Amino acid sequence: MVYCDQESYPTSIRRQKKGFGAAVGIHPKKVQFFPQSKFEELGNLLRLNTVVALREISLNRCAPESTWKLQEEILIKVLQLSMPIRQVILHMRDAADQHCGEVGARCLQIMRANVAPTQRIHLYCFTGTVEQVVSWLETFPKSYFGVTGTVKEFDNFQKAALRKIPKGHLLLETDTPYFRARQASASTPAFIGEVALEVSRIRGETVKEVLGFTSANTRILYQM
């Protein structure tokens, strides 16, 4: 469960079945609607032992340019609520650059200045380049790169980046309900195998191998 809209914050979060957890945060597109009073509420939610991550935060250049400065200000304030025991899940979007080079570099700069190098980071829906893989791992050795169904549309630079990600740092995602497979009306976790199949083709590994090490990485990252 992901609570990234302040109007949907729960008053409590019940313990989930083993292997499941909740994440709380503020979506970059919603920063202009995030009142100061909500920071305390977000901080209280992050202290719950049923919450496993701070999500979804970062920078989104698809939002109006008038909000970009506020996005950075809110990101810095929200990162002050982060803690090593909670993973930070980053959402990076650039309206013009499919590799998210500029926004990725700025986000890395902000992260470097505001969290410890030991912070565990999940780069959600990663579409970057080899240079970005190297930069994030050099700065934050506990970075993990999530790949969704968009892998089917990767260009040669993105495929090279996917092959560069070490086995111990790759994750698979479906980003339910988005990036639906085939003619499905919505994506579900049931389509994770299709993501694994495409990843295996690009990396030159078997589907079984990809599912094996990415599942292990997920358990390690989220301590499940």
From first to last of the 224 residues of the chain, give the pLDDT tens digit.
Answer: 888 887 888 877 877 777 778 889 988 888 888 888 888 888 888 888 888 888 888 899 998 899 999 999 999 999 988 776 788 999 888 988 889 899 999 999 999 999 999 999 999 999 999 999 999 999 999 999 999 988 999 999 999 999 999 999 999 998 776 666 566 667 778 889 999 999 999 999 999 999 999 999 999 998 87
Tens of pLDDT, residue by residue over 26-69, are: 888 888 888 888 888 888 888 888 888 888 888 999 988 999 99
- Domain positions in the chain are 1-86, 120-224
Q: What is the pLDDT of residue 208?
A: 97
Number of H helices, E strands in the chain: 7, 7
Q: What is the pLDDT of residue 169?
A: 98
- State the binding site for a divalent metal cation: 56, 91, 175
CATH of domain 120-224: 3.20.20.140
Q: What is the pLDDT of residue 73?
A: 93
Work out the widest C-alpha separation in the chain, in whole angstroms. 50
Q: What is the pLDDT of residue 72?
A: 94
Q: What is the pLDDT of residue 34?
A: 86
What is the spatial distance between Cα 168 and Cα 133, in angstroms, rounded to a whole number? 13
Secondary structure of 109-140 in HEC code, one letter for each residue: HHHHHHCCCCCCEEECCCCCCHHHHHHHHHHC
Buried b or exposed e, range 66-96, using 16+ CB within 10 angstroms: ebbeebbebbebbbebbeeebbbbbbbbbee
Q: Could you list the beta-strand ranges (E) of 4-127.
A: 22-24, 51-60, 87-93, 121-123
Q: Which two tokens stand for residue 220?
A: 């390690």
- What's the length of the chain? 224
What is the spatial distance between Cα 72 and Cα 42, in angstroms, rounded to a whole number? 17
- State the binding site: 56, 91, 175
Decide: 132 and 170 in contact? Cβ < 8 Å. Answer: no
Decide: 78 and 59 in contact? Cβ < 8 Å. Answer: no
Q: What is the pLDDT of residue 217?
A: 97
Q: Is the peptide bond before 177 cis (omega within 30 degrees of 0)?
A: yes
